[in-house]
Structure 1
Amino acid sequence: MAVLVALGAFLMTLAGGWTAQRVTDRRHLVLGLAGGLMLGVVGLDLLPEALRAAGTEVFGVPAALLLFVAGFLLAHLAERLLADLPRDPHSARTEEDQAAAHGGGAPDGRVPEVGLTAAAAMVGHSAMDGVAIGAAFQVGGGMGASVALAVVAHDFADGFNTYTITSLYGNARRRAVAMLFADAAAPVLGAASTLFFVLPEPLLGGYLGLFGGVLLYLAAAEILPEAHHEHPARSTLLCTVAGAAFIWLVVGLAG
């Protein structure tokens, strides 16, 4: 049952990525919406669940919040390290990669590997979404249905963000599509894996906290500043607010 429900997440992820591809002429609106969706997922979905599941405190601070800060710092460190790597424009293997290396890539010298790393983190998160669905069904059908509703609904945002993040850092379209399909398949594989084990709740909570920190860094330090860089319009701000409000609606309906 859990695997069948996870197929809904597969379809919603692809729908989100398809939407991101079709609005390239309104890139600032896409980025504004993506930033709002990511902010909403972190503040209204991931962190509350992480705090509930992790439970324990370390030196007076909830473990989930410590991992949240660690995730933020790790994302910042990873970006800085990758940005400082020497880049050889002659190392591109395809015409698309060569175009990216000679000015067709990401703005402001962003490194494509950062986008791929961020997208890979999204894939890992989606796999854990599938694990969460499977684990919930281990508890009971009602719990499984509730978790599945939340996962399927916000996987639209996951697909949207995966494609947007990969493209934002100058990766070729084929790479963005490949990461999108990997992100779509991840919940199905995650749900299938729970047929063989039971995931400890504190471990799940810690992971959600860590991933929340990574997402917040990407939203606050990369996505939203880029959205307002060339088009500081009210419509972009409204898209950000709408993205966060949408996640609020999803969380409320799932609760």
Structure 2
Amino acid sequence: MPILLSLAAFLMTLLGGLVADRVGGRRHLVLGFAAGVMLGVVAFDLLPEALALDSLHAHGVPLPMLMFALAFLAVHIAERSMSIHDTHEADYTPHRHSRAGVGLTAGSALIVHSLLDGAAIGAAYQTDSSLAVAVAIGVIAHDFTDGFNTYTVTSLYGNTRRRALTLLTLDALAPITGATLTSLLTIPPEALGAYLGLFSGFLLYLATSDILPEAHTPRRSTGLTLGATVVGVVFMWGVIGLTD
């Protein structure tokens, strides 16, 4: 049963990525929407889930929040040190992302997240089958945006369409793999909370430092783009509310 439930997540992830692949000239709207979705995922899903776990504290700060700040700063320092952006941030001109590896790293992080989604389905099934269905509904509901973001972020950094589709396929397969391996792998709550915090900081940095400036370049910055970002946030709010 867990594998059957994860198959639905597989299809929804592929659908999200294929939609991102077909938008063509409306790329700025896609990027605006993707940034809003990523903000919503961090604020309404990842961080609340991380803080709900019985996490460790370091000098009075929950470990997930410490990892959140660490990831945000680490990506920022890495970008500055490698001169990933060829323009100044204040210019808001089209960025030439000279490090396709950043896109691959982002896509890989999303794949790991999808792997844990599948593991959550399998772990829930070991407890109660009805709980597994509830968890699967939540996973399936946001896997569309996972696929959408995997393709968008990977291709944004100059990776080829073929490479972006490859990562999309791996992201779609990840929930199935996670559900299958659950019986062999148990993730301690402390480690899971730390990972969710780390992933949140990474995702938020990409949304605010890269995707939004790219969406709002002078040639493309419109009220529709801003509206797409707001819609992305509200969309994730609705998804999380319906699946909570």
Structure 1: where are the runs of 5+ without partners? 85-105
- Partner of 2:198 in structure 1? 210
- Residue 82 of structure 1 and its aligned partner are, at CA, apart by 4.3
Structure 1 residues 82 and 132, CA gap change in structure 2 (3 angstroms) = farther
- Partner of 2:240 in structure 1? 251
- CA displacement, residues 162-209 of structure 1 (integer Å, 9 cap, x when unaligned): 111111111111101111101111111011110223322222122111
Runs of 4+ in 1 over 4 A off after TM superposition: none
Pairing 1:236–2:225 present:
yes
**TM-score, length-normalised on structure 2?**
0.91
Pairing 1:115–2:103 present:
yes
Cα RMSD (Å) of the superposition? 1.5
Which one-letter code corresponds to 2:23 in the other structure? V
- Residue 109 of structure 1 and its aligned partner are, at CA, apart by 4.2
Partner secondary structure for residue 195 of structure 1:
coil
- Please tell me whether the aligned partners of residues 54 and 204 of structure 1 are also in contact (alpha carbons under 8 angstroms): no
1:78-157 correspondence runs (5 A): 78-83=78-83, 107-157=95-145
- Please tell me whether the aligned partners of residues 97 and 158 of structure 2 are also in contact (alpha carbons under 8 angstroms): no
Aligned counterpart in structure 1 of residue 170 of structure 2, from 178, 182, 186: 182
Partner secondary structure for residue 198 of structure 1:
coil
- Residue 54 of structure 1 and its aligned partner are, at CA, apart by 4.1
Equivalent pairs: percent with the same residue?
53
- Residue 149 of structure 1 and its aligned partner are, at CA, apart by 1.2
Which one-letter code corresponds to 2:112 in the other structure? G
**TM-score, length-normalised on structure 1?**
0.87
- Partner of 2:89 in structure 1? none
2:75 & 2:118 partners in 1: Cα distance?
Answer: 23
- Please tell me whether the aligned partners of residues 67 and 206 of structure 1 are also in contact (alpha carbons under 8 angstroms): yes
- Partner of 2:90 in structure 1? none
1:220 & 1:197 partners in 2: Cα distance?
Answer: 34
- Partner of 2:8 in structure 1? 8
1:158 & 1:36 partners in 2: Cα distance?
Answer: 13
1:74 & 1:134 partners in 2: Cα distance?
Answer: 32
Structure 1 residues 83 and 118, CA gap change in structure 2 (3 angstroms) = farther
- Residue 81 of structure 1 and its aligned partner are, at CA, apart by 4.4
Partner secondary structure for residue 6 of structure 2:
helix
Partner secondary structure for residue 108 of structure 1:
coil
- Residue 110 of structure 1 and its aligned partner are, at CA, apart by 3.3
- Residue 143 of structure 1 and its aligned partner are, at CA, apart by 2.3
1:231 & 1:164 partners in 2: Cα distance?
Answer: 17
Which one-letter code corresponds to 2:45 in the other structure? D
Pairing 1:26–2:26 present:
yes
1:195 & 1:239 partners in 2: Cα distance?
Answer: 40
- Residue 231 of structure 1 and its aligned partner are, at CA, apart by 1.4
Partner secondary structure for residue 158 of structure 2:
coil
The alignment of Structure 1 onto Structure 2 pairs a total of residues equal to 234
Structure 1 residues 193 and 25, CA gap change in structure 2 (3 angstroms) = same
Which one-letter code corresponds to 2:211 in the other structure? I
Moved more, 66-75 or 149-158: 66-75
Partner secondary structure for residue 216 of structure 2:
helix
Moved more, 195-204 or 173-182: 195-204
1:54 & 1:124 partners in 2: Cα distance?
Answer: 21
Structure 1 residues 200 and 168, CA gap change in structure 2 (3 angstroms) = same
Moved more, 217-226 or 197-206: 197-206
1:78 & 1:241 partners in 2: Cα distance?
Answer: 29
- Residue 39 of structure 1 and its aligned partner are, at CA, apart by 0.4
1:80 & 1:128 partners in 2: Cα distance?
Answer: 30
